[in-house]
Amino acid sequence: ENSLRKTSAPFSTNSYDAFISPNTLNLSTFTKLMKKLQEIHPEASRDKIVDALIEVRKTNKGILSGLPISFIVERTSVIL
């Protein structure tokens, strides 16, 4: 997991910055994805959702771009 974060955007105090990379999702898509996942899983913290998204990315050869949001939401929900 640490290696995934090192290859992402530079370190920041915001967990979404650690997740976003030029090869992954743009900020608008990430915001929509987070909003949808927070609606579905109100009990999950933002960090927990981000960790689940990182896990989905890891199982998809390190990328999320090109995947339908519905697929990402479904896979993330299974982890959460």
Coil, strand or helix at 63: coil
Is pTM beyond 0.85 here?
no
With beta carbons less than 8 A apart as the criterion, state whether 79 and 52 touch: yes
Cα–Cα distance measured from residue 3 to residue 61, given in angstroms and rounded to the nearest whole number: 13
13-23 burial, b at 16+ Cβ within 10 Å, e below that, comes to eebbbbbbbee
With beta carbons less than 8 A apart as the criterion, state whether 34 and 20 touch: no
Contacts for 29 with CB less than 8 Å, ≥ 6 apart: 69
The full set of domain ranges for the chain reads: 45-79
**Residue range 14-68, pLDDT digits in tens:** 444 444 444 455 678 888 899 999 999 999 999 999 999 999 999 998 888 888 8
pLDDT at residue 26, rounded to an integer: 64
pLDDT at residue 4, rounded to an integer: 47
